[in-house]
Amino acid sequence: MIYFLFIIGFVLLIQGAKWLVAGSSLIARWFGISELVIGLTIVSMGTSMPELTVNMLASFKGNADIAIGNVLGSNIANVFLILGATAAIASLPVRRSTLINEIPFSLAAALLIGFLANVTIGFNGLYELEINRIEGVIIFFFPAFCIYTYDLSKQDMQMEEAPVRDPSEKEWKAALSIAGGVLALFLGGKWVVEGAVHLAQMIGMSQAFIGLTVIAIGTSLPELVTSVVAARRQSADIAIGNVVGSNIFNLLFILGVSATVRALPFQDLSNIDLMVVIFSSTLLIVALITTRKMHIPRLHGFAF
């Protein structure tokens, strides 16, 4: 049965991505909101549902290695696998605001995680390599990013021309498309991850390795499919906003909430993974600056 759900999960991921992108694009056009803002919010949160589900279950069960590995591995996959694969399909234009604001915001979030995980002083006066519950509350800085995107959306609405709507396009259809997309991505990601973990355990993989690789890549499949679909539909802002927004959501919301449920002890391996997360965001900034054309060319996509 689990292998049947594994296959169905992939089908749901593909169809859910199509529904989510289609509904989000309609809302963006109707309200004069840029696709970048939609990508940073609705799409990125929707495609991050599998990560949130896995982390909450892992935290309640005390599986810290899976919770940490899932978030860090997903962020690495978002840049190197998802953004790379998407740019390899079609060169992705990037807004100047994304280079100056959103990507550095994601980098700052990773640095904050590294700082709190490595300078923790426990209440017993001993050094602890972990993110405790108090630090989880500090990490939960996602509302600040939501305020930023809200301000960005207001600027877009002022700059955009009055939207032209097709009478045949109904609000409930767009809402149903988004809701159906999120639900399909959630179930698809859950079933794919469960099947992948089952296969991994059969061949004796460790919990930390499963979290960093199998689960992280599995829960990133919604982002991969959504970004590829968005790129093919000429919606580059949704593709990029999905990746960057998902990285911020993973670090500042999912990891923060996970730590408030139960303290997350770090390992030396976790710090190495975090360094790769920081390196990926830094490399993305460098790649955009060196192109001088504010886009991610197909060559860089293949390199990523």
pLDDT for position 142: 64
Which of 274 and 140 is assigned the larger pLDDT? 274
Note down the domain range covering 90.
Answer: 2-303
Q: 144 pLDDT exceeds 50?
A: yes
Segment (H or E) for 259:
helix 255-261
User: How far from each other are the two terminal CA atoms of the chain, in whole angstroms?
Assistant: 36
Mean pLDDT in residue range 245-253: 88
Q: What is the pLDDT of residues 189-242, one digit of tens each?
A: 778 777 777 777 787 777 677 777 777 887 787 788 888 888 887 777 888 888
Structurally, the chain folds into a number of domains equal to 1
Q: Between β-strands 295-296 and 92-93, what pairing exists: parallel, antiparallel or unpaired?
A: antiparallel
Least confident of 76-80, 144-148, 208-212, 223-227: 144-148
- The count of C-alpha atoms lying within 13 angstroms of the C-alpha of 23, restricted to the half-sphere facing its C-beta, is 22
Residue 75 near residue 110 (C-beta atoms within 8 A): yes
pTM value? 0.78
Instruction: Return the ∠ at Cα 279 (arms to 275 and 280), rounded to 5°.
Output: 120
What pLDDT does residue 195 have? 77
Nearest Cα to Cα of residue 99 among 107, 111, 91? 107
What CATH number corresponds to the domain at position 107?
A: 1.20.1420.30
Say if residue 263 is exposed, middle or buried (CB neighbours under 10 Å; 0-12, 13-18, 19+).
buried
Rounded to 5 degrees, φ, ψ at 155 are -65, -40
pLDDT digits (tens, 9 = 90+) for 262-284: 888 877 667 888 999 999 999 99
Six-digit token string for 292: 């001088």
Q: What angle do CA 290, 294, 297 make, to 5 degrees?
A: 75
More confident residue, 302 or 213: 302
pLDDT in tens, 11-41: 887 788 778 777 877 777 777 777 777 777 7
